[in-house]
A and B are shown apart, each in its own frame.
Chain A
Amino acid sequence: MIKRSTPELSRRGLVGGGAAALGLASGLLPHGALGQGAPTPVDVLLVNATVQGDLRSTLEQEANVRLTDGPWQSSTDVVSRVAAPGGTSRWDLVSSTFDFSRPVVMGARPGDEKVRPIDLSLIPNLAHLTDESRAAGIEVRGGNTYMLPLYWGFDSVLYNRNVVPENDPFTQSWAPLFEDKYSGRIGWWDVAHQMLMAAGLYMGHAEPEKMDRAQLNDVVRFLISRKRHVRTFFTTFAQGSSLLASGEIVVGYGIVPMRVDLQNRGFPINGAFPKEGVLSLVLAGYIPKDAKQPAAAARLINAILGARYSSQLTKAVGYISASKLAETGLTAEERRTFGYGIFDGSVKHYLLKFPTNMNMWIEAWSRVKSA
């Protein structure tokens, strides 16, 4: 007869086992996760590449949230979604270009805001913001903070290293996009704001967003005269990446994530640091007025500005973190390559500002396209 032993649950055993389990858990779980309870479900509208794979895991662990992300297409699209009926309750955290989004989400007068004040006590990593980010990406009204800088991107000329020499001074300018050296193999982004800004910078305008009608007409004439060198316009960055990857174009207007993505996939694509300046932009985070999880959204902002996520972000996507903590996880070479020089002045940049008369710019670009 087999004697079956039945485990006995004594109080001492229970306490001992519990302590062991706690010790094991504290070794496995990220710092601060214990005692926080179940992850909070958070709906976000952030650049999708910034909340994928390891980046997503990091954010979810550090902020104790479970992310659901919507399709992020462009700052215009994001702002339209937030401004649409019901848009202020759909998302808990949204990100878009600071300068472009601010007028829309803040409204013309106090009380018109489509966003809510952010509880800064939940974001200790704010202490580590770079000075440039503090200056360019915080929106305060009536003593409340509504928008915070998360990361920087910049636009420049992307080129195929096999065709375009990297060390040529011609390459390190906006010239390849507008001159005839690579005629027939150039791609322009079909967006009025950025293309006219880039052309304005190249033509020597100190503050292109303030160009008057006559100056804008000069830029239009210039672009029309150079349009014959252009192979095609592209409307999405995926389309632009495809053109560069397939060799249809060897030079194109592009953003950092395009370059990093193509490089990660083994294509010989690099980005220039034009002597006239890259066109930089701050992606700001804000919490819509009727968000269901504002506290969790604030914790998420804190995680985005944390050391682990911010350096991961740069390596994976190419965005430059608004937090100084990112630099601790990057080598000097990585900081140089990814363009962290915009913070110390070693990379010239021009903050992409919104023109005062955008409609005039749209008409101008339409003239270029239809010429």
Chain B
Amino acid sequence: MPHGGPNWQWGETVHVSTSRGDRRFDRRALLVLPGLAWLLAFAVAPLMLLAVMSFWTSSIFGLSRDATLDNYRILTDDSVYARVLLQTLRIALTVTLISLLVSYPIAYFLASLRGSRKSILLLLLFLPFWTSYVVRTFVWLPMLGRNGLVNSVLMQLGIVDAPLDWLLYNEGATHVGLVYVYTLFMTLPIYLSLDRMDPRLAEAASDLGAGPVRAFLRVTLPLSLPGVFSGCIMVFLLACGAYVTPQLLGGTTGLMFGNVIAAQFTHTNNWALGAALSVVLIAVVFLCLAVFGRRVRLDDVFLKG
């Protein structure tokens, strides 16, 4: 019987007698159970089902449990999927880099502020994210379209005679949309890293003769790297699975792997191939993380970033 009783308090170790001898059991561990159950039911189990389904057979009559490797064979036989996957990784990488370039100065500026100005600007940063992802993507259509805001202004100012078609429906527009919707995921961790930094460190560097650039490169930047890596990983992962943005803004050239996967489920009823494509994407993303993890300690990124 546990030596807890009504006087037990959080943090107190409860001794549990078992046939194999005494074991120490911390009741705080029970707090993990709801979250664990949630993850098992809604994250692990669907992923397992997805993996199993990728070996099933899709036919005109639906999904049957006849085991096959054909879904993976299609992926290797047809270079289309490899090409789209590579394009997706390339777009995700460039989106990550652009997001970093955009977000770092914003985070740096926010971290340097104090008082109500900081609160207001942080609120403004979050404001667009109170609306849905689709709306935030869709808003680029009236901005960049033929009859959109940008073209109207350019034509009224006499800078162009006819609307610029290349502003929308191409890979560039996909980049613009993805950078916009994922900016917060990059800015926030960098801001948190910079905000926690002791400002006296930069002052000390200055006192020791370092100029602003040198102090930034030798002190501020290295200390903010966990936030940078954290943001980069988040944006890269999200961009790899992007679906709505390339669909709405990408036109005929901004296709990404998420669109190919979605088509299997929504248009062609080939769930088994869709599952196989999803498993491949997950595996490739994990591989990218593993390669990244060899260079950077992921513990630092996720636990200290």
Contact = CB atoms under 8 A, between A and B. Distances in A.
In this complex, which of B141, B251, B266 has the most chain A Cβ atoms within 10 angstroms of its Cβ? B266
B60 A358 contact: yes
Contacts of B87: 370
A230 B87 CA distance: 20
A21 interface: no
Contacts of A190: 263, 267
B74 interface: yes
Nearest to B269: A76
Contact of A248 (B61, B145, B255, B260): B145
A76 B267 contact: yes
Contacts of B94: none
Contacts of A103: 60-61
Contact of A363 (B60, B74, B169, B251): B74
Contacts of A74: 266-267
B80 A80 contact: no
A247 interface: yes
Interface residues of A, number: 36
Interface stretch (A139-147, A203-211, A231-239, A318-326): A231-239
A208 B165 CA distance: 34
A76 B268 contact: yes
A369 B252 contact: yes
A235 B247 contact: yes
B145 A359 contact: no
B136 interface: no
A232 B252 contact: yes
Nearest to B82: A370
A108 B267 CA distance: 22
A239 to B, nearest CB: 8
Chain B interface size band reads 35 or more
A194 to B, nearest CB: 10
Contacts of B252: 188, 227, 230-233, 369
In this complex, which of B78, B80, B84 has the most chain A Cβ atoms within 10 angstroms of its Cβ? B80
A175 interface: no
Contacts of B110: none
Contact of A358 (B165, B263, B268): B268
Nearest to B249: A232
A328 interface: no
Given A103-B60, A192-B267, A358-B60, A247 B147 contact: yes
A221 to B, nearest CB: 14
A4 B282 CA distance: 85
Given A366-B81, A366-B260, A104 B60 contact: yes
B258 to A, nearest CB: 12
A35 B251 CA distance: 57
B251 A370 contact: no
A77 B266 contact: yes
A83 interface: yes
Contact of A370 (B84, B247, B269): B84
A279 interface: no
Contact of B270 (A83, A184, A231, A359): A359
Nearest to B265: A80
In this complex, which of B62, B165, B259, B260 has the most chain A Cβ atoms within 10 angstroms of its Cβ? B62
Interface string B45-72: 0000000000000101110000000000
Interface in A161-216: 184, 188, 190-192
Interface in B156-172: 165, 168-169
B275 interface: no
A367 interface: yes
A316 B26 CA distance: 67
B297 interface: no
B80 A366 contact: yes
Contact of B269 (A80, A108, A227, A242): A80
B169 A231 contact: yes
A362 B268 contact: yes
Contacts of A80: 269
In this complex, which of B141, B248, B263 has the most chain A Cβ atoms within 10 angstroms of its Cβ? B263
Contacts of A363: 74, 78, 80
B169 A104 contact: no
A246 B145 contact: yes
Contact of A83 (B62, B81, B264): B62
A28 B58 CA distance: 53
Given A248-B145, A248-B146, A369 B255 contact: yes
A108 B251 contact: no
A103 B59 CA distance: 10
Interface in B211-268: 247-248, 250-252, 255, 259-260, 263-264, 266-268
A74 B168 CA distance: 27
B273 interface: yes
Contacts of B80: 363, 366-367, 370
B28 interface: no
A107 B61 contact: yes
A199 to B, nearest CB: 15
Interface in A107-147: 107-108
Interface string B177-208: 00000000000000000000000000000000
Given A192-B268, A232-B169, A363-B74, A370 B61 contact: no
Given A104-B62, A190-B263, A358-B60, 19 more contacts: A74-B267, A76-B266, A104-B61, A192-B263, A230-B251, A231-B251, A232-B169, A232-B252, A246-B147, A248-B145, A358-B270, A359-B270, A362-B263, A362-B268, A362-B273, A363-B80, A367-B80, A369-B260, A370-B83
24 contacts: A76-B266, A76-B268, A76-B269, A77-B266, A79-B269, A107-B61, A190-B267, A192-B263, A231-B165, A231-B252, A232-B250, A232-B252, A235-B247, A246-B147, A248-B145, A248-B146, A354-B60, A359-B58, A359-B268, A359-B270, A359-B273, A363-B80, A369-B255, A370-B87
Interface of A: 73-74, 76-77, 79-80, 83, 103-104, 107-108, 184, 188, 190-192, 227, 230-233, 235, 239, 242, 246-248, 354, 358-359, 362-363, 366-367, 369-370
* The 8 nearest A-B residue pairs measured at CB: A232-B251, A232-B169, A362-B268, A103-B60, A370-B84, A366-B80, A83-B62, A370-B80
